[in-house]
């Protein structure tokens, strides 16, 4: 039976007058590009985890959650000990007008990119799917 892990993350957007001009925060993990996320700690709500991880990984804390959006992905991977892990990651959506990013040691770079460029940059199909859902959600706002 696979080991289970639970994480939470946040899709950060810098809004603009038109959805075509929104920019999304992506992190360079060295081998892949993805959104800020991390493990849920005991007693933590998913939103708390997402915002804590955002601050730990980027220094960004001046965000406003966008109500009504949540998305969860699940996947399997092998950890360093070659154990099979079933991971679920919950994502929320937040906006920021100004983000002074200070990367943690876990990352080698970051970018705020418009939707099309962000879609090309994120590595995994699940991240592309989440980004598409966030963009569609914002277009309806």
DSSP 66-115: EEEEEEEEEEEEE-TT--EEEEEEEEEEEE-S-------TT-SEEEEEEH
Comparing C-alpha atoms, which of 20, 23, 6, 15 is closest to residue 121?
23
Question: What stretches in the chain show pLDDT beneath 70?
Answer: 17-20
How buried is residue 105: exposed, middle or buried, by Cβ count under 10 Å (0-12/13-18/19+)? exposed
Fold for the domain defined by 3-139 = Nucleoside Triphosphate Pyrophosphohydrolase (3.90.79)
Instruction: Report CA dihedral (19, 99, 94, 72) to the nearest 10 degrees.
Output: 100
Tell me the pTM: 0.92
Instruction: Give pLDDT tens digits for 29-54.
Output: 999 999 999 999 999 999 999 999 99
The domain limits of the chain are 3-139
């Amino acid at each position: 039976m696979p080991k289970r892990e639970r994480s939470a993350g946040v899709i950060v957007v810098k809004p603009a007058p038109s959805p075509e001009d929104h920019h999304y925060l992506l992190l360079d993990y060295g081998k892949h590009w993805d959104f800020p996320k991390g493990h849920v700690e005991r007693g933590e709500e998913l939103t708390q985890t997402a915002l804590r991880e955002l601050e730990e990984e980027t220094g960004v804390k001046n965000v406003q959650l966008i109500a009504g959006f949540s998305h969860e992905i699940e996947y399997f991977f092998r950890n360093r000990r070659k154990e099979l892990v079933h991971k679920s990651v919950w994502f929320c959506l937040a906006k920021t007008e100004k983000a002074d990013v200070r990367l943690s040691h876990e990352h080698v770079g970051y970018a705020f990119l418009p939707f099309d460029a962000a879609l090309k940059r994120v590595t995994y199909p699940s991240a592309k799917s989440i980004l598409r859902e966030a963009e569609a959600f914002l277009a309806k706002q």
